[in-house]
Amino acid sequence: MASPRMTTYWITCADGLEVLLADELAELGAHVVSRSHGRLVIEGSLETAYRICLWSRLASRVLLPIHSVPIKRQDVRDVAEELYEGARDFDWSLIFSPASTFMVRLQAERGIKLNTQFATLRVKDGVVDAFMDAQGRRPSIDTRQPEITLLAIAGMESHQYCLDLSGDSLHRRGYRQIMTDAPIKENLAAAMLRQLGWHHKQHTVLCDPLCGSGTFVIEALWMWLDHAPGLNRTFGFQGWHGHDHALWQLLRQEAHQRLLAGWELPLPRVYAYDADWEAVKATRQNVLAAGLKDALPSVHIEERSLNEWPADLVHTGEKAMVITNPPYGERLGNKLSNRALYQGLAYRLQQRFAGEQVGVIAAQVEQADVLPLVNPQTLRLMNGNLPIYFRSGELQPAPATVGLLARWEAPSEVSDEGKDFANRLIKNLSHLRKLAGREQVSCLRIYDADLPDFNLAIDLYENWLHVQEYAPPKSIDPDKARQRFQLALGIIRHVLDVSREQVFIKTRAKQKGSEQYEKKGDQGKLHIVREGQACLYVNFTDYLDTGLFLDHRPMRLKIASLASGKHFLNLYCYTATASVHAALAGAASTTSVDLSNTYQQWGKQNFALNGLPVDHPARQHEFYESDVFEWLKQGSEQYDLIFIDPPTFSNSKKFQGTFDVQRDHYSLLKRAMNRLAPGGLLLFSNNFRKFELDERLAAEFDIREISAQTIGFDFKRNAGIHHAWEIRHPGVGR
């Protein structure tokens, strides 16, 4: 029996996939002759070309070179006319019938300058004129579903004309019924799965925690089932005179048999999550369109944010793989929020998938750098015209999450100088450690001017200390005060056994207006701490406050306990920490209002850190940079749960006039109650120690003071640090 005739074919792919594609083509029986950016030249039979069209998960197109025209660069003719003449000089009736429809695509090598649209038209004219010269008949143009697709490549030394055997790009599998923003191309998704080793079928669990439209899930299942990606689509060779219909049908029958055999094997367990309900719907629809209905018992497609992953995704003895395409810009927002999402993703991955294979897409390589991977590998790819990076590797085990207080041990001895302060600090720590362990609190106040000679506040944020010196009165000698503070810092470091890098120092004088919110530095260094179900950013250097008011911890946790299914409004939201708690607790929506752009952006980063979508068309979580009074006046929407924690005094440059909580709280609460739904609850608090609630409010609303309930165990010595009330419309039961 004669050997099949070998032919040269060009196989194209996205830049960056050349090595992976070469391996795949070798498995399909092709001999790779050469490799360049985005193109591999192979030798193979017609059957080889058919198998690539049918089975390649990575390739973009399969091209058959059919005509080449050498060009002498001293010829000054227009390139478009050269292309026309080259097309006219070939007998296209050898390739397809004038009864067929066709279209032309055009590419130009670097350095060739031409009007692409006009040059494409001239190539089409050349093909049509060649048919008219040879047969007196011409084929029709169809740019949507042509039977024949031709590719013309304008080069420096020659013009090439190819038949596109694939027709439409091979990445178009046909299952995408619904798309989310910035979807990954199907062949790129398959390449990333191959990079991680999914095609070896050694992993039995797959998780995509930000599944978008479900591309990774579908490509992984098709790979597992041995589902040929080209099984149910048409190809450009089917209108070609050289097409071997019988051979093609045999290959399709073989693919059908392989798919049937694939369904006989146990399926992997697949988890597809997304915090965006529209993405979840898209994934479900696309999975059905991909013919995977019978796989649904093994595929868990659910609306879940990053913090809502189940604890038992991977069982003992199983190997898992995590692969995902975070909304790195299209569905999320600015670069800071994107970095926050990747940090939150890394934190959650380490909790569930330490030691497993992980692959994550990033728009900037710096985003991927936060992923704690062993020997990471990076692929730079092109998703259409958008460069992306795929970072993959084995996930490192999570570092110890035990906070400083939980592992603290009292020192065996302390120096005589400042001994009273050291002993008080040790006593506080011994007492607070038990309470913090019981309530699972890692951020708390451990000292608050307990002794008059050491007038400072010490806040513990997991493994960092935020030390604030209350400015001494002018009657105290500055040098003596400075020496006393340095002594206190030495004792703090000794008692808690911390390095200088773990201690952040500020002086807290009496603030005027909005001074406590004004910038004090510009390091921009954010640290992540945990509170309840939330991960939150704190900044120890740039502002007087850190972005997380520790005395309001019980209030935030109370909001979390009330928020499920509620529409939540957070006025004077600051860094939106209460909104994060509400969203994570299942609030139907959150709305956060603050005049400061800085804190609005900080709040969005807190949301992104927890995998919560913001600035999304679904408008589940909204932020408004606005004066609260103006915002309340302009809208009419009502909310089930409202939280108001205004500043004591404000004279922001953006705000016309001043705000005084004692003077203006009646007007503020009246307006806010107009936005409270029947049966709803408004929580009001403030930190003005001399505050007195306006008596008119008690006559108009049902009010109950809850200050004592909202003071944490670490602030019991300073119970007047804030006041808080529950306010309802009259006649509404609690």
Domain at 697, CATH number: 3.40.50.150
Bridge-based pairing of strands 101-108 and 148-154 is parallel
**Would you say residue 244 has pLDDT above 50?**
yes
Same domain as 701, residue 579: yes
- Cβ-defined contacts of 107-112 (< 8 Å, 24+): 107/151, 107/152, 107/153, 107/154, 108/79, 108/153, 108/154, 109/153, 109/154, 109/155, 109/156, 111/156, 112/79, 112/154, 112/155, 112/156
Q: Take residue 640 and report the two structure tokens written for it.
A: 């089930």
516 falls within a domain:
no
700 falls within a domain:
yes
Same domain as 147, residue 190: no
Q: Which helix (H) or strand (E) holds 554?
A: helix 553-562
**Would you say residue 424 has pLDDT above 60?**
yes
54 falls within a domain:
yes
Confidence of residue 331 (pLDDT cuts 50, 70, 90): very low
Q: Give the Cα separation of 20 and 16 in Å (integer).
A: 9
Kindly report the CATH number assigned to the domain that includes residue 158: 3.30.2130.30
Domain count, the chain: 4
Same domain as 580, residue 493: no
pLDDT at 74: 52
177 falls within a domain:
no
Q: Give the Cα separation of 230 and 232 in Å (integer).
A: 6
Region of poorest pLDDT, from 338-347, 350-359, 544-553, 621-630: 338-347
Region of poorest pLDDT, from 38-47, 187-196, 407-416: 407-416
pLDDT at 509: 56
Confidence of residue 514 (pLDDT cuts 50, 70, 90): very low
Whether the predicted model's global pTM rises above the 0.75 cut: yes
pLDDT at 330: 45
DSSP per residue over 475-508, as a string?
TS-HHHHHHHHHHHHHHHHHHHT--GGGEEEEEE
Q: Give the Cα separation of 459 and 510 in Å (integer).
A: 19
pLDDT per residue as tens digits for the range 428-456 = 999 999 999 999 999 999 999 999 889 99
Same domain as 391, residue 330: yes
183 CB-near residues (< 8 Å, 6+ apart) = 176, 212, 213, 215, 325
Confidence of residue 517 (pLDDT cuts 50, 70, 90): very low
**Would you say residue 35 has pLDDT above 90?**
yes
Same domain as 381, residue 264: yes
Same domain as 280, residue 134: no
Same domain as 215, residue 98: no
Same domain as 383, residue 322: yes
In the listed set 481, 510, 539, which residue is the last one of a domain according to the structure? 510
Same domain as 195, residue 153: no
pLDDT at 3: 59
Q: Could you tell me the residue range of the domain that residue 461 belongs to?
A: 401-510
Confidence of residue 515 (pLDDT cuts 50, 70, 90): very low
Confidence of residue 611 (pLDDT cuts 50, 70, 90): confident
More confidently predicted of 75 and 336: 336
- Cβ-defined contacts of 455-458 (< 8 Å, 24+): 456/485, 456/488, 457/508, 458/425, 458/492
pLDDT at 513: 46
In the listed set 456, 475, 510, which residue is the last one of a domain according to the structure? 510
pLDDT per residue as tens digits for the range 68-103 = 999 876 555 689 999 999 999 999 999 999 999 999
∠ at Cα 304 (301, 308), nearest 5°?
A: 125
| Angle, helices 577-584/553-562, rounded to nearest 10 degrees | 30
Kindly report the CATH number assigned to the domain that includes residue 502: 3.30.750.80
Confidence of residue 159 (pLDDT cuts 50, 70, 90): very high
In the listed set 395, 423, 439, which residue is the last one of a domain according to the structure? 395
662 falls within a domain:
yes
Same domain as 127, residue 13: yes
Same domain as 550, residue 612: yes
675 CB-near residues (< 8 Å, 6+ apart) = 569, 632, 635, 636, 637, 638, 639, 642
515 falls within a domain:
no
1 falls within a domain:
no
Same domain as 703, residue 561: yes
383 falls within a domain:
yes
